[in-house]
Structure 1
Amino acid sequence: MYYRCCFILFCLVVANCDDIIEVDDITDRNVTVLAPTESSVVTGKQIIFTWEKIEEAESFHLQVATPTFSNASQVMVDTLVKGNFFTKDTLVDANYEWRVRAENSGYQTPYTYTRFIVSN
């Protein structure tokens, strides 16, 4: 009888785990870029990439390419970030495009693209 009760309890717990493990679908959300903004000229030793948080996101996939992703000669950054900013030290003078998307264990948003120029 004890084992039968344990088995029934186990089945009930497993059957209800789908409700506990539900992951929010973020595919229709968009990440809003804060800086650097479209066509901005960045000077200085550090560039701080920032964007608005999406509450249901677990991380953000950030990439930086030169001159653009469609014509990339080099991908300078390709990283997962837990927060809503990333600091990159020293990019050479050039045109860049950066993109960011939100991700969780089941879904991801589309990338948001922005171009900028480094001129020191």
Structure 2
Amino acid sequence: MKRLIYPILLLFIFISCEAIFIEDISDTKVILLAPTNNAEVVTGSIQFNWEEVIDASEYNIQIASPSFNQANQIVLDSVTTSSIITKELDVGSYEWRVKASNSGYQTNYTTNSFTVK
């Protein structure tokens, strides 16, 4: 019985220590690369890119039309581990935003607007 208690105790200590070492990314800003703010892009398949945030494990990307304050439609609300995503969009005005997160923290959203012609 004692042989079983020690491995379980070590496992518990390891799991507890892992939670202590989660990096706080809440003050980090996600840098949006494309489409840039106020960009005009051609209708069709649009590639959204942002810089990876160190210690982030996933990203939440949202796209709204025409904006988040006056959203007629949320076109995309997705979680991804990549820093790039492609979406087909029709002609119109849009805003897109991304926030990064890990198991303990998340950044604020960074937002850009763009127009599809």
RMSD: 1.5
Which residues of 2 match residues 1-120 of structure 1 at below 5 A? 3-21=1-19, 22-89=21-88, 91-119=89-117
The amino acid across from 2:116 in the alignment is V
Secondary structure of 2:48 counterpart: strand
Distance 1:81 1:9, change over 3 A: closer
11-20 or 97-106: bigger deviation: 11-20
Runs (5+) with no aligned partner, structure 1: none
Within 2, Cα distance between the matches of 1:5 and 1:43?
A: 66
Q: CA deviation at 1:58?
A: 1.1
Overall identity of the aligned pairs, in %: 35
Q: CA deviation at 1:73?
A: 0.5
Within 1, Cα distance between the matches of 2:85 and 2:29?
A: 18
Q: CA deviation at 1:92?
A: 1.6
Give the greater-gyration-radius structure (CA). 1
Shift >6 Å, 4+ stretches: none
Secondary structure of 1:14 counterpart: helix
The total of aligned residue pairs comes to 116
Q: CA deviation at 1:100?
A: 0.3
Within 1, Cα distance between the matches of 2:71 and 2:102?
A: 27
The amino acid across from 2:56 in the alignment is A
The amino acid across from 1:94 in the alignment is G
Within 2, Cα distance between the matches of 1:13 and 1:79?
A: 34
Runs (5+) with no aligned partner, structure 2: none
If the length of structure 1 is used for normalisation, what is the TM-score? 0.87
Within 1, Cα distance between the matches of 2:66 and 2:43?
A: 19
Q: CA deviation at 1:25?
A: 1.5
The amino acid across from 1:25 in the alignment is D
